[in-house]
Amino acid sequence: MTKRPATCPRIGVLTLCFCANVAAVFAIASQGPPRDPRATRAPDLVEIVKLDPTVKLDIRYASTKNFVGKPVYQEARAFLQRPAAEALVNAHRELGSHDYGLVLHDGYRPWAVTKLFWDATPPALREFVADPSAGSKHNRGAAIDLSMYDLALGTAVTMPSEYDEFTRRAYPDYRGGSPDARGRRDLLRAVMEKHGFTVEPNEWWHFNFKDWQEYPILDIPFSAIK
C-alpha cells in the first residue's frame, strides 16, 4: 500500500516494510496511531460516490471476501482526502471516453484496522502485513485500490490477476496473460498517472496520490466522517 524500496519485500494490499529510515522520522506513541511530524495538512476526507455516484463500490473488507475471512468494516464505503478524491473522479470521467468506469475496493483505512491485520498475522508472516507502528498511505486517506467496469455491461472487467492476488501476475509490469487484460491494466495506469497517482510496484490495483506525505495517519471510523 505504500511505495517502498525494491529491497523491501511484501505481498498483498496490506503490507508495509518498516525500514529503519522510516522509523527515524516517526514519533511513535505507545497507544494509537503514530504521528508523522512531516504531515501538517488538515485532513478532509470525502466519500467518493458523493462526488460522482457512477463510481462503483466493491469494498472487500466490508465482506468475507478478504484474507481474514470476515468483515472488518461495518460499512461498505470509500473515502479519500478531497484533492485525491477529486482527481480520482476526473480519472473516472476520462475513462468513460474509453467505455470504462472505476470500481473501488478500498480507500481510506482506519489505523485500528491496520493494527487488527497485524495482530491477526503470525509473527513469521508479519513481513507481509503493514506494521501499525509506521501506518500506511491508506491510513492517510491517500491510497486507493481499484479496477474498472464495462460501462455497457455494468460488470467488472478481467485484469491480468484478481484483486489482492499475491502472485507475479499482480505486478503492473507483468507480461503474461491475455493482451486485452494487459491493455486494460495499462490504460487504467496511464489515466491514473495523468491525474496525479502512482501505481504500487507489486499491485496494478493500488495507486498512491502525489501529496500523501502531507496528511497524518488517521484512526477515524467511517461512521464518524461527515
Please name the amino acid found at residue 165: E
| The pLDDT of residue 129 | 64
Domain that holds residue 172: 20-39+49-221
| The pLDDT of residue 125 | 58
Q: Would 150 be classed as within a structural domain?
A: yes
Given a cut of 50, the residues of the chain with pLDDT beneath it are 1-30
Q: Would 10 be classed as within a structural domain?
A: no
Q: Would 208 be classed as within a structural domain?
A: yes
Of the chain, the end-to-end C-alpha distance in Å amounts to 25
| The pLDDT of residue 7 | 33
Strand 45-47 relative to strand 79-81: parallel, antiparallel, unpaired? antiparallel
| The pLDDT of residue 138 | 95
Question: Percentage of the chain surpassing pLDDT 90?
Answer: 70
| The pLDDT of residue 23 | 36
CA distance 10 to 12: 7
| The pLDDT of residue 126 | 65
| The pLDDT of residue 19 | 32
Look up residue 84 and give its three cell numbers: 485525491
Q: How many residues does this entry show for the chain?
A: 226
> What does the radius of gyration of the chain's CA atoms come to, in whole angstroms?
17
pTM above the 0.85 mark? no
Q: Would 137 be classed as within a structural domain?
A: yes
What pLDDT, in 10s, does the model give residues 147-194?
A: 999 999 999 999 999 998 878 899 999 999 999 999 999 999 999 999
Q: Would 6 be classed as within a structural domain?
A: no
Strand 56-57 relative to strand 100-106: parallel, antiparallel, unpaired? parallel
What's the number of domains the chain is made of?
A: 1
Q: Would 2 be classed as within a structural domain?
A: no
Q: Would 44 be classed as within a structural domain?
A: no
Please name the amino acid found at residue 115: K
Q: What is the CATH number of the domain that holds 71?
A: 3.30.1380.10
| The pLDDT of residue 34 | 94
Q: Would 8 be classed as within a structural domain?
A: no
